[in-house]
Chain A
Amino acid sequence: MITPVLQIENLTVAYRRGGEWLEAVREVSFHVHAGETFGLVGESGSGKTTLVLAVMRYLGENGVVKAGGITLAGRDLLALNPVEMEKIWGKQIALVPQNPGSSLNPSMRIGEQLAEVLRHHFAMDAAEANQHALDWCERVHLPDPDRVANSYPHQVSAGMQQRVLIATALCTEPGLLILDEPTSSLDVTTQAVILDLVRELIRGRQTAVLYVTHNLGVVAQVCDRVGVLYAGEFVEQASARELFSQPLHPYTQGMLASVPLLGKTKERVHLRAIPGQIPPLGELPGGCVFRPRCQLAVQICETRPPLYVSSPDRIVRCHRWAEIQKGQVGDWQLPAVSKMSEPAEDEHRRLVLNLDALQVHYPRHRSLQEALLRQPARKVSAVRGVSLAIPQGRTVGLVGESGSGKTSLARAIMGLTVRSSGSIALLEMPLPISLSQRDLATLRRLQMVFQNPEEALNPYLTVGETLRRPLITLLGRSRAEADREVADLLHAVRLPVSCAARLPGQLSGGELQRIAIARAFASNPVLLVCDEPVSALDVSVQAAILDLLLELQVESGSSLLLISHDLAVVGYLADKIAVIYLGHLMEVAQATDLFRPPYHPYTEALLSAIPLIDPTAGQRPIRLAGDIPSPTEMPSGCPFHTRCPRFLGEICEKETPPWREVATTGKRYYCHIPEDDLRAAQERPPVFGRSLTR
Chain B
Amino acid sequence: MLKVSRAQGAAPSWGWRLARFFKRLYAKPLSAIGTTITLIFLLVALAGPLIAPYGENEIVASDARQPPSAQHWFGTDNLGRDVYSRVVLGARQILVLSGLGTFLAVVGGTFLGLLSGYRGGWVDEGLMRFFDSLLALPALLLALVLLGTFGPSTFSVVGVIVIVYTPIVARVVRSVVLVVKSKGFIEAARLQGESQARLLLREIFPFVLPALAVEAALRFSYAIFLVASLGFLGAGVQPPNPNWGLMVKEARSFVNQVPWALYFPAGAISIVVIGVNLTADGLKRAWQAAD
Contact = CB atoms under 8 A, between A and B. Distances in A.
Interface in A224-261: none
A469 B184 CA distance: 16
Interface stretch (A161-169, A342-350, A453-461): A453-461
Given A455-B183, A456-B184, A462-B11, A435 B190 contact: yes
Given A456-B184, A460-B207, A473 B3 contact: no
Interface stretch (B62-70, B128-136, B191-199, B241-249): B191-199
A455 B207 CA distance: 13
A443 B3 contact: no
A446 B191 CA distance: 8
A285 to B, nearest CB: 13
Contacts of B289: none
Given A440-B193, A443-B193, A473-B193, A502 B11 contact: yes
A502 B184 contact: no
Most buried by B among A283, A414, A435, A460: A460
Contacts of A446: 191
Contact of A283 (B3, B10, B203): B3
B51 interface: no
Interface string A259-291: 000000000000000000000101100000000
Contacts of A443: 191-193
B11 A473 contact: no
A416 interface: yes
A506 B191 contact: no
Interface in A445-495: 446-448, 450-452, 455-458, 460-462, 469-470, 473-474
Nearest to B190: A435
Interface in A406-450: 414, 416, 435, 440, 443, 446-448, 450
A448 B9 contact: no
B187 interface: yes
B2 A455 contact: no
Contacts of A474: 192-193
A280 B194 CA distance: 36
Given A283-B7, A440-B193, A473-B193, A452 B184 contact: yes
Contacts of B206: 458, 460
Nearest to B185: A458
Contacts of B6: 506
Interface in B166-219: 183-185, 187-194, 202-203, 206-207
B11 A458 contact: no
Given A450-B187, A458-B206, 11 more contacts: A282-B3, A416-B190, A447-B191, A448-B187, A448-B191, A452-B184, A455-B185, A460-B207, A473-B194, A506-B6, A516-B188
A501 B9 CA distance: 8
Nearest to B187: A416
B30 to A, nearest CB: 23
A595 B274 CA distance: 71
Nearest to A457: B185
B121 to A, nearest CB: 12
A485 to B, nearest CB: 14
A483 B60 CA distance: 69
A275 B192 CA distance: 31
Nearest to A470: B192
Contacts of B203: 458, 460-461
Nearest to B202: A461
Contacts of B187: 414, 416, 448, 450
Given A461-B203, A462-B11, A502-B11, A456 B188 contact: yes
Nearest to B196: A436
A503 interface: yes
18 contacts: A416-B191, A443-B193, A455-B184, A456-B184, A456-B188, A458-B185, A458-B189, A460-B207, A461-B202, A461-B203, A469-B192, A470-B192, A474-B192, A501-B10, A502-B11, A503-B11, A506-B6, A523-B192
A251 B11 CA distance: 33
A456 B10 contact: no
A18 B2 contact: yes
Nearest to A458: B185
A473 B192 contact: yes
10 smallest A-B Cβ distances: which pairs?
A: A501-B10, A460-B206, A456-B184, A455-B184, A458-B185, A450-B184, A470-B192, A473-B193, A443-B193, A462-B11
B204 to A, nearest CB: 9
Contacts of A584: none
B200 to A, nearest CB: 13
A24 to B, nearest CB: 15
A503 B9 CA distance: 10
Chain A, interface size category, equals: 20 to 34
Contacts of B183: 455
Contacts of B10: 462, 498, 501-502
A667 interface: no
A519 interface: yes
A577 B274 CA distance: 65
Nearest to B192: A470
A506 B3 CA distance: 10
A469 B191 contact: no
Contacts of B192: 443, 447, 469-470, 473-474, 519, 523
Contacts of A440: 193
Interface in A505-550: 506, 516, 519, 523
A443 B188 CA distance: 11
Contacts of B9: 506
B27 to A, nearest CB: 14
A388 B206 CA distance: 40
Contacts of B193: 440, 443, 473-474
Nearest to B183: A455
Contacts of B185: 455-458
A443 B187 CA distance: 12
Most buried by A among B6, B9, B184, B189: B184
Contacts of A414: 187, 191
A14 B193 CA distance: 48
Nearest to B182: A455
A461 B201 CA distance: 12
A457 B2 CA distance: 23
Contacts of B190: 416, 435
A533 to B, nearest CB: 12
B63 to A, nearest CB: 58
Contacts of A435: 190-191
Contacts of B194: 469, 473
Nearest to B10: A501
Contacts of A451: 184
Contacts of A18: 2
A652 B242 CA distance: 87
A448 B191 CA distance: 8
Contacts of B188: 448, 450, 456-457, 516, 519
A469 B189 CA distance: 8
A135 to B, nearest CB: 45
A382 B62 CA distance: 87
Interface string B158-169: 000000000000
A523 B191 CA distance: 11
Contacts of A448: 187-188, 191
A461 B203 CA distance: 8
A182 to B, nearest CB: 28
Contacts of A455: 183-185
Most buried by A among B6, B11, B187: B11
Interface in A1-46: 18
A525 to B, nearest CB: 10
Most buried by B among A446, A458, A474, A501: A458
